[in-house]
Amino acid sequence: MVALYAATGFFILPPLIKTRLIEKLSAYTGRKVELGELRLNPFALSTTLRKFTLHERTGGQFMSFDELYINFQTSSLFRWAYTFSIIQLTSPSSNIRIQKDGTFNFHDLLPPAREKSETQQNAPVPLLIQHLVVNRAQMVFEDITRPTPYKQQIAALSFSLKNFTTRPNREGLYEFEAATEEGATLKYRGNLSMAPMYSKGSLELTGIKLRKLWSYLQDQLNFEIAGGELDISGTYEFNITEGLTDLRLQDSSVNVRSLSVLSKEDGEEAITLPHLSFSGTELDYQKREMKIALIQSDSAKIRGKFDKDGKFSLHKMFQPKTTDSSQEMHPKNQSKSGEWQISINKIEIADYALHMKDQTTVPITQLDLSPVNLKIENVKIGSPGTAHIELQVGLNQTGTMKVAGKVSPEPLTADLDVQISKIALPPFDPYVKKHTQLEISDGSLSLNGHLNFSRPGAEQQVDFEGDIRIESARVLDSVLSEDFVRWKRLDLRQVKYDNNPASLSIQEIIARGLYTRIIIGPDRTANVQHILVRDKKPLTETKGQQANDNQLPIRIGQVSIIDSSMNFTDLSLKPNFTSAIQNLNGTVKGLSSEQLARADIDLKGQVDKYAPVVIQGKINPLSEQAYTDITMNFHGIELTTFSPYSGKFAGYKIEKGKLSFELQYKLSQKILIGENHIVLDQFTLGEKVESPDATNLPVRLAIAILKDSHGVIDLNIPVRGDLNDPQFRLAPVIIKAFVNLIAKAATSPFKMLGALVGGEGEELDFVLFTPGSNALSQEQQSKLAKIAKALEERPQLILNLRGTAAESVDRYALAERAILTRIRTQRNIPIESPLAEDEQKRLLKLYREMFRKEDPYDLIPPTDTTGTKIPKDVRRAAVVDAARKKLIEKYPISESDLRTLAQERAEVIKDYMVQQGGLAAPRIFLLEVDTKASATDHEVKMPLALDAR
């Protein structure tokens, strides 16, 4: 019996079972099955299968192994369970593939749903494996449904398992290790129950290659993992009861080592992470709770950039590619009960480096944040809680920023102390260039303040209080490559900002060593005109936006100016013009955007070191309806400073002189009222300068007219204007008024002179004479007296007299005067007096002498037109009158007579100005006479002319 048992077991049954096994498996799976050898040991109750292969339906290999050794135990009869002392599988291999239709290549091996349900109704026989050994297992996983087909091979995996059972409420203690050729290892120790499903133990996975995990998900990700390893360890407890899954983790940790993340867009390395660990992790799946004792990382390098459209590269990298299936798996509206509550005891990040590029600016902005050290304690996510944060960041190796305080995520609130120490400003220059034509070449920012932030709902609340300091700042005009503003130190003390309601207050602004410069370039454009980059938006859109924007209420307690200066340079002139206000000190108190607020301004300085400047008054530049009541006094400015301007526009350099002026301006309700009191002392022009822009006006004369006897020009130029008028500009109005004053003095000197002495200016530029006479009337003498008075106060003026005679009226008057001289014996009788009888006789005698062949009585017939005889006395009077007229018409008056009359008239005026007006004779010049003058209203006009010495 023993021999028969042995023969049957060793020799008869193996080939029978082998054949039957192949047939059954082939029929059940519908696939080709190969089995190289089957051995039985009837005494040990063991079976050995060698060279087994299960093929695909298409012919490829699906599963195989070199050897399967099974040792069955007779104790199964007593245990009421299939009991095996050992099951050992050597070199198992499988090919798992997800096919194009989304099914696995083994889906047809599973029993149909109906058959499966019937099987489940029968209670399964328990299974007990005392020792399960797998040696050199390998598996190939392939997924051809993905856009990038995925194929991964796990090779040389070995592990052992002891006391595995499926008996209800029985736990087995298991411990095994597994390793792969790539260095990944699996260590497990714990117990496992199959009915119900329960397990508790410790698990350790080390050396997991992150690139292999990434390669399967690469089509859903915008980044590439080039390298890195993952370690996972911890204890767990897993239980499935009545369809409910419960998972708990304790004392678990996750470590990421040597992680390298690349951007798919440009292939550049975005993240280099030497170390990241999660330790002391606890998880309760039922309660949706996770606790992490410590998250720690150091020495990471993160590189990011904003593209030209303003999109951040890291955001794009880690933004998942959405698909319909992913949206179904992660619905937007999740119930509150399904949210996790995460608690993190401490987060420590050390020696991080963030390298950021901003391509929205020209040139590209490079910001290097290094080192970045961060500590956060007591972080709560999904539940109320307040975390404490400490952040320290270095910026571009120049300064540091420290943030410390409390942060709560739900609702989001922050209560932070912020300190910034000497952060260099030049790296932020490209952002300034986006909106201005300025360049920050130097300067550092420091800040010490407190920030509160909260967002309880849709609106957010922000308030800040602190001090700001900017040191050694220098801002250039990039168009002219010259300084625009700089200062040694600018302090903003007790800055308070609140956004709800919006308000900004500053207790004091202190500017030390402030220097500003206004430059007119070679193209005659001031730097302040091109500082701001023009907005490309339509004007209507810009106006609409401005109208909708609410004005921010601003309060500034005091602005202090210490040891500051202002400079003005005109590069359009050759030589260049430069002037400066130095040693500027003072305050502006009470600045506010409130409508009725008034700030007191009190500034003092010197122009070019020695000319004092005082600016005082009240202003309100921050309110919507600006208010100004200000006085600016400048005293004793050297006029030679302005020589480039006088050479260009007047054609003369300035020899000497000082300028003082007082400006008083009042602005209210957009109406500007200004008084400009300008005093030029000893203003003297120098040598002539050739300039194509020089005026043709007699500038020297204008200056001489405006100067008084002490060499002072004292002018008052009022200004009126409505700022609502887009054509109104203050500076052009003042300049135009001054230029018009000079032009008036040069072109209408007597009008200006008359205005200066309080006379009728339009009557002082000429003297009227009766035809044929050189006598001055009382009215003309009064006029000359006013001119003499004005000239006495303006010693640089000289009077030019050009005697005039009008042939049309003076010749007749001279002829009449000559005739009356010959017929009258008395010299003081007026010309218009009637002729006496003896004078009539002499007149008729003179007529006969001049017209030898004519009888004067032939001029008047003895009868009138009706033939009536004219009375003798009437005819005689008519004859005398006709003879007189003909004598005057024919009496010879030479050019010399007219010249003599013209000279006499000039000399009469000169005599009056010297003898009656007290004017020095050397200041009066007689010019060549003019005998071709015209007469007006039977009067001869002799023009007067002024000139400057």
Residue 58 scores a pLDDT above 90: no
- Highest-scoring range by mean pLDDT, 612-616, 674-678, 689-693: 612-616
Rounded mean pLDDT, 740-746: 69
Measured CA to CA, the distance from residue 645 to residue 738 in angstroms comes to 14
Q: What is the pLDDT of residue 541?
A: 47
531 with 587, same domain: the answer is yes
Domain carrying residue 714 = 510-536+551-748
Looking at the domain assignment, is residue 64 inside a domain? no
Residue 422 CB burial class (10 angstroms; 0-12, 13-18, ≥19): middle
Q: Which residues does 847 contact at the CB level (< 8 Å), separation at least 6?
A: 854, 856, 883, 886, 887
Measured CA to CA, the distance from residue 623 to residue 615 in angstroms comes to 21
Cβ–Cβ under 8 Å, residues 554 and 591: yes
Neighbours of 32 (CB within 10 A): 16
Looking at the domain assignment, is residue 370 inside a domain? no
The β-bridge relationship of strands 341-358 and 289-298 is parallel
E strands along 750-805, which residues? Answer: 766-769, 797-804
659 with 523, same domain: the answer is yes
E strands along 593-670, which residues? Answer: 599-607, 611-620, 627-638, 652-668
- Using alpha carbons, list the distances in angstroms from residue 784 to 708, 755, 769, 792, 943: 18, 15, 13, 12, 12
Q: Tokens representing 455? A: 């967002």
Residue 804 scores a pLDDT above 90: yes
Last residue of a domain, one of 748, 776, 796: 748
Rounded mean pLDDT, 77-93: 79
Looking at the domain assignment, is residue 493 inside a domain? no
Looking at the domain assignment, is residue 897 inside a domain? yes
- Highest-scoring range by mean pLDDT, 111-125, 151-165, 464-478: 464-478
Looking at the domain assignment, is residue 619 inside a domain? yes
Residue 67 scores a pLDDT above 50: yes
Q: What is the pLDDT of residue 337?
A: 46
Q: Work out the mean pLDDT of the chain and round it to a whole number.
A: 81
Residue 653 scores a pLDDT above 80: yes
- Note the pLDDT tens digit of each residue in 766-788: 889 989 888 898 988 888 888 88
Q: What is the pLDDT of residue 332?
A: 47
Looking at the domain assignment, is residue 829 inside a domain? yes
Nearest to 230 by CA among 183, 176, 291: 183
CA quadruple 602, 607, 611, 615: dihedral, nearest 10: -20
696 with 772, same domain: the answer is no
Q: Which helix or strand (DSSP H or E) is residue 536 part of? A: none
CATH of the domain at 858: 3.30.1330.60
- Note the pLDDT tens digit of each residue in 920-942: 999 899 999 999 888 887 889 89
Rounded mean pLDDT, 135-149: 81
866 with 903, same domain: the answer is yes
- Note the pLDDT tens digit of each residue in 858-888: 788 888 878 788 888 888 888 888 888 888 8
Last residue of a domain, one of 728, 748, 768: 748
766 with 672, same domain: the answer is no
467 vs 201 pLDDT, higher one: 467
Looking at the domain assignment, is residue 489 inside a domain? no
DSSP, res 133: E
- Note the pLDDT tens digit of each residue in 403-430: 999 998 777 889 999 999 999 998 888 8
Looking at the domain assignment, is residue 592 inside a domain? yes
Last residue of a domain, one of 690, 724, 748: 748
Residue 241 scores a pLDDT above 60: yes
Q: What is the pLDDT of residue 560?
A: 93
Q: How many domains does the chain have?
A: 2
707 with 784, same domain: the answer is no
